[in-house]
Amino acid sequence: MSTDVAVIGAGPAGMAAATLAAELGLRTVLIDEQDEPGGQIYRAVERASRGSPLGRDYLAGQALAAELRAARVEYRSGATVWHIDPAGAVSLAERDGAADTVEAARIVLATGAIERPMPLPGWTLPGVMTAGGAQILLKTAGLVPAGRTVLAGQGPLLYLVASQLARAGAPPELILNTAPHANYHAAARRLPRALWPGRRALWKGAAMIREILRAGIRVRREVTGLRALGRDRLARVAWDGGDIAADHLLLHDGVIPNVQITLALQLAHEWDEAQLCWRPVVDAWGRTSLPNIFVAGDGGGIQGAEAAALMGRLAALAIAAELGRFDEAECDRRAAPLRRALARERGVRPFLDALYRPAALAPAEDDVIVCRCEEIAAGQIRRAAQLGAQGPNQLKAFTRCGMGPCQGRLCAPTVCALIAEAHGKPLAAVPPFRPRAPYKPITVGTLAESNTLIAKS
């Protein structure tokens, strides 16, 4: 099938981009691998009720979902994108294995963020999962962990998930905050400029912490030496100076852009030293180094859900102008209020980036598993880096790291940090992984039957 715009990802950026594109008269297809809109931040939001323990900010996503449903968007849910041809063909696989291709004049990648991996001793034990994962279980199925739960790490989801679990009747026992002392200093320096633009976010953050303390959840700060202990599953959580029996350990070390597809397409990327991640180079409209491909939302750098929706709309406006719906002047005129709102959203960012800086990007212990898929430990990676591997792609050859089904999604940041450490180089100097198609697994049969009308690569 052929369309004007293909939007990949139904989170806030994707929903907003698709809705506006359709309203502006563009033929629009929205492709997402989940069955419901919302991405991860607004996952299952359409089904949420007013008293949801997930809170008002989460419920705000219902408006975006409702607008999407009302718009004339061809919404392909349950469809996984496994290849994008830079010329504009998107190959997708449905849940039953059927293959399809969408040819689009413009593509908007709105694939959002993933949690930063947090390798520590014992993190692969059953009973250890991400804080975001526990949040998804609560959002999608009203499930909470039974037994003793410990939350550990730092970043936007740490206190948020604790407060949501508490409201849902399953407060965690303990929060182990690993944010180092330096974060608080650096954040404090940025607080004055963040106070006005970020006033709502800061107020909510303070309220959340009050809620947690009122619920009797203990908080330890500047925690070091975190490890998960147990034989076939988690039994205890230990840290420098303490330990506790636990049934669940929820880890969180911040969020980073999901750059799997942008890297596979070999778009230009740059290292973001403030957020310690790679992100695609985009202009003020979300245009990438390829003229027909845009990025909107956290996939282009972490800026939050509200900013994501605004960037989705800016991309839709730019595309509408490019495809002749109005001229540049009109495009700028319509974009103006969005840009003002975006500037406000971005005002608190330096404060948050300083506060949410991970303590370390690579585990000190050699026996910590870094590549979960292939079970490769940090020591093996260090040795291969010392043997001369200059980057993660060369290192993949020596260690199989990155060859598993996740194609480096969970190990890339750690691997690059280990290489940087071994060579005494800055993180910006270690190139990222190069993922390839299929971006997610597809069967040989699906590929054999896939529609490949486009002849070029």
Partner 1 sequence: MRRFDAIVIGGGLVGSAVAYGMARERLRVALVDEGDAAFRASRGNFGLVWVQSKGRGAPHYQRWTRLSAEEWPKLAADLGERTGIDVGLEQPGGLQLCLGEDEFAARREMMEQMRREAGNFGFDYRMIPRDELAGMLPGLGPEVAGASWTPYDGHASPLNLLHALHRGIADKGGAYLPNSTIANAAAAPDDFRIVAGGDEIAAPKIVLAAGLGNAALAPLFGLSAPVRPQRGQILVTERARQVWPMPLGSLRQTREGSIMLGSSEEDVGFDTGQRLEVMRNIARRAVRSFPFIAGLQIVRAWAALRVMPPDGLPIYDQSERYPGAFTANCHSGVTLAAAHANAFAPMVVAGALDPSLDLFSARRFDVPAAA
Partner 2 sequence: MFRLRRDADEATVEVEVDGRTVLVPANASAAAAVLVAGLDSIRETAVGGAPRGPYCLMGVCFDCLAEIDGVPNRQSCMVPVRAGMRIRRQRRGRAVQPNEH
Chain contacts with partner 1 (rule: CB under 8 A): 83, 85, 91, 384, 387-394, 396-400, 403-405, 407, 430-431, 434, 436-438, 441-445, 447-448, 450, 452, 454-457
Q: What distance in Å separates the CA atoms of residue 313 and residue 334, rounded to the nearest whole number?
A: 10
Minimum distance from residue 306 beta carbon to partner 1 (Å): 36
Cβ nearer to partner 2, comparing 125 with 428 = 125
**Vertex 281 angle, CA 254 and 71, to 5°:** 80
Contact of residue 114 among partner 1, partner 2, none (CB under 5-8 Å per partner type) = partner 2
Q: What distance in Å separates the CA atoms of residue 235 and residue 222, rounded to the nearest whole number?
A: 23
Residue type, 359: A
Minimum distance from residue 330 beta carbon to partner 1 (Å): 37
Q: What are phi and psi of 54, to 5 degrees?
A: -80, -15
244 binds partner 2 (CB under 8 A): no
**List 63, 70, 87, 147, residue binding partner 2 (CB under 8 A):** 147
Cβ nearer to partner 1, comparing 346 with 434 = 434
124 binds partner 2 (CB under 8 A): yes
Cβ nearer to partner 1, comparing 132 with 432 = 432
15 binds partner 2 (CB under 8 A): no
Judge whether 115 and 158 are in contact, CB under 8 Å.
no
Distance between start and end Cα atoms, the chain:
18
**List 1, 23, 47, 215, residue binding partner 2 (CB under 8 A):** 47
Peptide bond into 280 cis (omega under 30): no
Q: How many CA atoms lie within 13 A of 338 on its CB side?
A: 22
Q: What are phi and psi of 194, to 5 degrees?
A: -90, -15
Minimum distance from residue 456 beta carbon to partner 2 (Å): 30
Minimum distance from residue 181 beta carbon to partner 2 (Å): 29
**List 406, 427, 428, 447, residue binding partner 2 (CB under 8 A):** 406
Cβ nearer to partner 2, comparing 325 with 372 = 372
Minimum distance from residue 422 beta carbon to partner 2 (Å): 24
Could you tell me how many residues make up the chain?
A: 457
Q: What are phi and psi of 406, to 5 degrees?
A: -80, -10
424 binds partner 2 (CB under 8 A): no
Judge whether 397 and 433 are in contact, CB under 8 Å.
no
Beta bridge partners of 128: 249
Contact of residue 83 among partner 2, partner 1, none (CB under 5-8 Å per partner type) = partner 1
Q: What are phi and psi of 198, to 5 degrees?
A: -100, 20
446 binds partner 2 (CB under 8 A): no
**List 86, 205, 404, 431, residue binding partner 2 (CB under 8 A):** 404
Cβ nearer to partner 2, comparing 94 with 103 = 94
Q: What are phi and psi of 185, to 5 degrees?
A: -65, -50
Q: What distance in Å separates the CA atoms of residue 428 and residue 212, rounded to the nearest whole number?
A: 37
Q: What distance in Å separates the CA atoms of residue 245 and residue 190, rounded to the nearest whole number?
A: 38
Judge whether 417 and 429 are in contact, CB under 8 Å.
no
Minimum distance from residue 127 beta carbon to partner 2 (Å): 6
Q: Which residues bind partner 2 (CB under 8 A)?
A: 33-35, 40, 44, 47, 49, 51, 53, 114-115, 124, 126-130, 132-134, 136-138, 140-147, 168-170, 232-233, 247, 258, 372-375, 404-406, 409-410, 440
